[in-house]
Amino acid sequence: MRNDIIKRSKSLFDKESTLEHLHTFSNCPASMACTNQSKEKDLVMDQIWDICKKTGLVQLRNVFPLDIVYQFPHNDGVGKVWENHDKAFSNFILEFNDVNSVFEIGAGAGRLGKLFLSSNNSGRWIGLEPNHYYEKIEMKNFIHKRDWFDENYKTIGEVDAIVHSHVLEHMYDPLAFLKTIHGQMGNEEYHLFSVPNLFHFIKEKYTNGLNFEHTLFITEDIIDNLLKKLGFSLIKKQYYSELPCIFYACKKTDPKNIIWDSTLYKKNKDIFLDFVKFHDKDVCELNKKIDAFDGKVYLFGAHIFSQFLIYNGLQTNKVSCILDNSKMKQKSRLYGTNFYVESPEILRDAQRVAIILKAGQYNNEIKNSIIKNINSEVLFWE
């Protein structure tokens, strides 16, 4: 094992609690991005999942350093699902009329800020994004800063709200992250964020729920407890079903003592192990279909969706390549695999074609687009 691997031998939320091993996924790629580097440079490591008996938190035992996991960008928010989410979350922020100046942690390509400013001409948006691959945003009152947010970042300044979207679940230490935000907030500032409903993800067997980026099964129950513990009062909570995720609006208050629900241990353990059992069976069924099929087979999703199937034993000798709608990924290789990425356009007029489509909440959008715009004869294995 590399000497820079971060090792977690104790529960992140209760240092005295005993950890119980749940499952190990073998030889998992460090990054879920696409790359042009040689495959020999790709890093893999077993994902060892443990559960805290007191808090019910499922956590990854060993994690790669951030600069390895996020070496290459991959989240360009392609598709209507992400576009609709950002519009909905922007509208959620705009509901708070006293929010005019915003500091966003993890701004990505900046779409959320653009949406907010397009509806608030007098607003100001500071987007903090460490990934230099994103293009600079040329928009009035949008300030794009290239930096990481951690306990040493102390230059937020006067803002009405601190915002982050699908960032909390990426934090190796959510306690430290939320504590830093709390320490920099004034009493009148808002803390507004969107977070995936990971319990729903795992319950519905979405394979993008837990990985080397989402290293904690940080469910709604756990988030609610952490907010109380660190001094955030809940102003509003809104459920968004399409992605699916939860929008939170909080203000600063005093930290409170919390009691962990004793039922979370069994609840989270059972749903995690059911997830593992389901996918073991699912990969076996896919392999039978691949063996019996006499046409071309493709994987859809140059992302964790394909990686998960591969490191769980998917038979790949008949797979032609990986398909993805993202231009950022096309003509590159999916990290940790031998497969290059092509546009679904290569399916136009093709006959006897099957696509393995296990993209969770994006399945319907992907399938409908291919059938309507490219090739209605494609066979989908979902």
Reported as a single tens digit per residue, the pLDDT across 232-275 is 999 999 999 998 999 999 999 999 999 999 999 999 999 999 99
| Integer Cα distance of 321 and 341 in angstroms | 6
Length of the chain: 382
pTM summary value = 0.93
Amino acid 76: pLDDT: 57
E strands of 106-212, at which residues?
Answer: 124-128, 142-145, 161-165, 190-196
Of residues 102, 11, 17, 121, the one with CA closest to residue 58 = 11
**Tokens for 261?**
């629900």
Residues 6+ apart with CB under 8 A from 347: 298, 323, 353, 355, 370, 374, 375, 378
Residues in a beta bridge with 315: none
Classify 319 as helix, strand or coil.
strand
Task: Please compute the mean of the pLDDT values over residues 178-182 and round it to a whole number.
Answer: 95
* More confident site: 372 or 157: 372
CB 372 within 8 A of CB 345: no
CB 238 within 8 A of CB 246: yes
All domains of the chain in start order, with CATH: 80-261 (3.40.50.150), 285-381 (3.40.50.720)
CA distances from 143 to 109, 125, 303, 306 (A): 12, 6, 30, 35
Measured in whole angstroms, the distance separating CA 206 from the mean position of its chain's CA atoms is 11
Residue 2 has pLDDT above 80, yes or no: no
Cβ-based neighbour number of residue 208 at 10 Å: 22
Amino acid 290: pLDDT: 97
List pLDDT tens digits, range 45-88. 999 999 999 999 999 999 999 989 988 866 655 678 889 999 99
Helices (H), the chain: 66-69, 80-94, 111-119, 174-184, 198-203, 220-230, 264-292, 304-311, 363-373
Kindly indicate the confidence band of residue 3, based on its pLDDT and cuts at 50, 70 and 90: confident
Amino acid 155: pLDDT: 62
Residue 24 has pLDDT above 80, yes or no: yes
Residue 340 has pLDDT above 60, yes or no: yes
Of residues 161, 244, 193, 243, the one with CA closest to residue 89 = 193
* Phi, psi for 151 (deg, rounded to 5): -65, -15
Residue 149 has pLDDT above 90, yes or no: no
DSSP string, 8-31: --S-SS-TTSPEEEEEEEEEEES-
Residue 138 has pLDDT above 90, yes or no: no
Amino acid 145: pLDDT: 85
